[in-house]
Each structure stands twice: as C-alpha cells, then as structure tokens.
Amino acid sequence: MAIQQGDYENLLARCSDYRGALTLLKQHRPYLEMLPSMRRPQESIVTIPLPNISVRRLVERSTGPISKRREVVSLPCDLVILMCDPEWKVKTGVDVVLFIHRPDEDFSELLSRWRQTQILLSENYEWLMPMPHEHLLNEGSERPYPLFVTFPQTPERILRGLNGAELPVILYTPTLWSDPEHRMELVEAPQFESEELIDDGDEALREWGIDIEAADESGEL
C-alpha cells in the first residue's frame, strides 16, 4: 500500500506544533538530550514547517568592488526544529532538519533532499523566523542534524538505504483520525524510559491521534 497524501499532510501539520516536534525527538534520544529544558519545552523548541533561509552571497562586478546581496531560498526539507535556551532567549545552535517520506518518493529522491539541504546550509545564512520568534538570533548552526520519518508503507529499500547511510530514522504509524468517535480507542499511550520525559503536552498529543514509534535501533528490517 502506498503512502497517502493525507498521512503526510497530517504528520507535517501535527509536528508544526512544539508538542508534535517533542514527540518526534522523544523517539531519537541523542537529539532529545540536546533539548535545553524538558520542563519548559514550549520555550525550548521553535518549529518552522517548509522553512526558508536568507543567504548572503558575494557578487563580483566588472565595474566595481565585490558586494554582498541577500537571497531567500526554500529548503527541500519538511520542517526544522530550532532549540532555544528558555533563560537567555537565544538559539543554542542545534537545528534538527526533518525529512518526512513523501508519497511516491523513492530512496534517491529522499536522500537528494538531504544532500541539497547540506549544500544550502553550508553557506552563510539566517533562518526566516516565525513572527513570534523574530527577536531571536536567527543565524544558522555550523552543523544541521537530520532526522528522517518513515511510514509502515515505506519500501524496505528506503529503510535499508537510510540505515546504510547512517542517518537517524524513526517510524510513524498513522491512526484512523478519519473516524473521530473511535479515534481515542485506537491510540495507545506512548511508553517512555523515565518520568522526566513526560510533559503536559503528551495528553494533547494522544487526543490528536499521534502514535510515533521508534525505528529498530539495531537497523535490522
């Protein structure tokens, strides 16, 4: 069965909220441990769906000195999660770049989106921030952290390819949100390793019908 456009759109919409982004990070502990404050996730996470960056590039002119110009570029990723210090109100420099497996997208296309993102983020750039966070220092980090999200329908070759490229992958299992009367009965409460990883946003996520499972850490498919 192929990935449905609605599955992709629903996940992108849910993860545009900090609680959805936090649920993703909980499935990949190395990134979760970079979060400045588990007690204040709303102030520690800024999400930007379908992000743009402002790139400063040098322009050589035959009639004069080299000048700089700004160019706004759309990144081929699906969402970026920026981590911020809730005390100092500044970015920490940890930028998680999210790639959701899109309908009809094969391995080379998915991997190419990450490679193209690497090229664009190697330049001198700034994030175009959401209006409530425009006051934050928006310079990009020296190293973006990729995170790939797959579905149960994702072909095995894509999972093997991502694991072979040593890229972090998690699995998202959509629930039947199209049936609101039975949705809550179909969602199981997520299990976490310790109580400190549970915040008040988890209950809201269960109400939304999000059920995200971690991919097999061993890489065996």
**Residues 55/124, Cβ–Cβ less than 8 Å:** yes
Could you give the strand order of the β-sheet that contains 52-59, starting from the edge strand earlier in sequence?
A: 67-74, 52-59, 125-127
What percent of the chain clears pLDDT 70, i.e. is strictly above it? 74
Q: What is the pLDDT of residue 175?
A: 62
Q: Under a CB-based contact definition with an 8 Å cutoff, are residues 27 and 214 in contact?
A: yes
Number of C-alpha atoms within 13 angstroms, CB side, residue 115? 8
Say whether pLDDT at 206 is over 60. Answer: no
Model pLDDT for residues 80-137, shown as the tens digit of each residue:
999 988 887 788 889 999 999 999 999 999 999 999 999 999 988 999 988 888 877 7
Q: Which residue has the higher pLDDT, 204 or 122?
A: 122
User: Which tens digit of pLDDT belongs to each residue from 167-198?
Assistant: 999 998 876 444 444 333 433 333 333 334 44
H helix intervals, the chain? 5-15, 18-26, 29-32, 41-44, 107-120, 156-164, 180-186, 202-208
CB atoms within 10 A of CB 1: 6
pTM of the complete model:
0.75
Cβ-proximal residues to 93 (8 Å cutoff; 6+ apart), any chain: 141, 142
The arithmetic mean of pLDDT across residues 67-71, rounded, is 77
134-162: b or e for each residue (b if 16 or more CB lie within 10 Å)?
Answer: eebebebbeebbbbbbbbeebeeebbebb
Is pLDDT of 200 > 60? no
Q: Is 93 left (phi over 0), alpha (psi -120 to 50) or beta?
A: left
Q: How far apart are CA 109 and CA 162, in angstroms?
A: 12
Letter for the amino acid at 37? S
Tokens encoding 216: 């097999």
pLDDT on residue 219: 43
